[in-house]
Amino acid sequence: MDINRRKALGLGAGLAAVLTGGAGQAHAQGQAQAGAPADEALARSLGLRSRYAQVNGIRMHYVTGGTGEPLVLVPGWPQTWWAWHKVLPALAKRYRVIAVDMRGMGGSSKPAGGYDKKTMAKDIYELTRHLGLGKVNIAGHDIGSMVAHSFAVNHAAATDKVVLMDVGHPDPSLYDIPLLPRPHQGLNIWWFAFNQVQGLPEQLVAGRSRYLVDHLFDTILMDPGSIGERDRRIYAQAYNKPDAIRAGNAWYQAFHDDITDFATYGKITAPLLGLASEYSYDFMQYVWAEQGTDVRVQKVPNTAHFLQEENPAAVTSALTTFLG
């Protein structure tokens, strides 16, 4: 999840006041947990279909259903397409939803390279071509927000409207994130540095991803129960093998390339909605205002980062109001 240094500072004491270091209260003992359901069963439980497509040199998994204007949904780390499960049924009543596992995630391929957000956006663009779609709406959260930003810039003719959720595209300010935060500075985004290390995370996390998942959710969520036991099993299983850990880390290791690409980008010309948590809103409204020509920013109440799972009703309402 991307919360750059300025955003982290903006979280400040407010976040520190509500966050707990709840890893000790987590379900770490769940390493002996039963396996999570397969994507096909999960999709069916929502009235949707699990599908695959060969695009841009990879096999991409996506979940789809509904009718109407196409809406592509892109999740972030450490999650999968399932991050949208609380909003998908309602959205599928109004749109043709396409929730993707982007390159390196879940049921999609985990190649050696191509984890810069420009290439990942091209993956999604080619998926829309494969599906015979013209313009699409696209919404992204966390790392998925970076990919959605890149999609809107590099494939403007294919973008109807774009929704960015709680993070911005990598920019040079990421180089200013302190390795050792000052006391009371707010959330320590230690995973930015951890995910830069090559080789070691796979050795440490493989078979133990539930510890990582529980720590992140128990530490960041306002209400740890908003991402429950079943959901945590699904996410932990998706990041439990070395190749999945390597691929997820690669999204962060590609930030150098992303920053270089960002320097060449113009503004997003499609209508842009930014959805921000209570703790990122004050900062992100200024960031997004500079990155588009038709921008509105909305705070999602009672959220700290995982917006569509913490307050699905508010996210559904914001999306349907904006997209029409």
Q: Which of 252, 258, 279, 281 is catalytic?
A: 252
Is 286 designated active site? Answer: no
305 is catalytic: yes
Instruction: Give the per-residue pLDDT at 34.
Output: 54
Average pLDDT over residues 245-272: 98
Q: What is the dihedral of CA 195, 200, 203, 209, to 10 degrees?
A: -20
Domain 5-323: assigned CATH number: 3.40.50.1820
Catalytic residue status for 142: yes
Query: Percent of the chain having pLDDT more than 70?
Result: 90
Instruction: Domain ranges for the chain, please list them.
Output: 5-323
Q: If you compute the radius of gyration of the chain from its CA atoms, what whole number of angstroms results?
A: 18
**Catalytic pick from 39, 116, 123, 142?**
142
CA pair distance 296, 161, nearest whole angstrom: 12
Tens-place pLDDT, residues 48-99: 999 999 999 999 999 999 999 999 999 999 999 999 999 999 999 999 999 9
Quote the mean pLDDT of the chain.
90
Which residues, including other chains, have CB under 8 Å from residue 225's CB and lie 6 or more apart?
Answer: none
Query: How far apart (Å, rounded) are the C-alpha atoms in residues 63 and 81?
Result: 8
pLDDT digits (tens, 9 = 90+) for 149-175: 999 999 999 999 999 999 999 999 999
Q: Please, which residues bridge with residue 97 across strands?
A: 65, 71
3-class SS at 78?
A: coil
The set of residues, in sequence order, having a beta carbon less than 8 Å from that of 196 and lying 6+ positions away, is 249, 252, 253
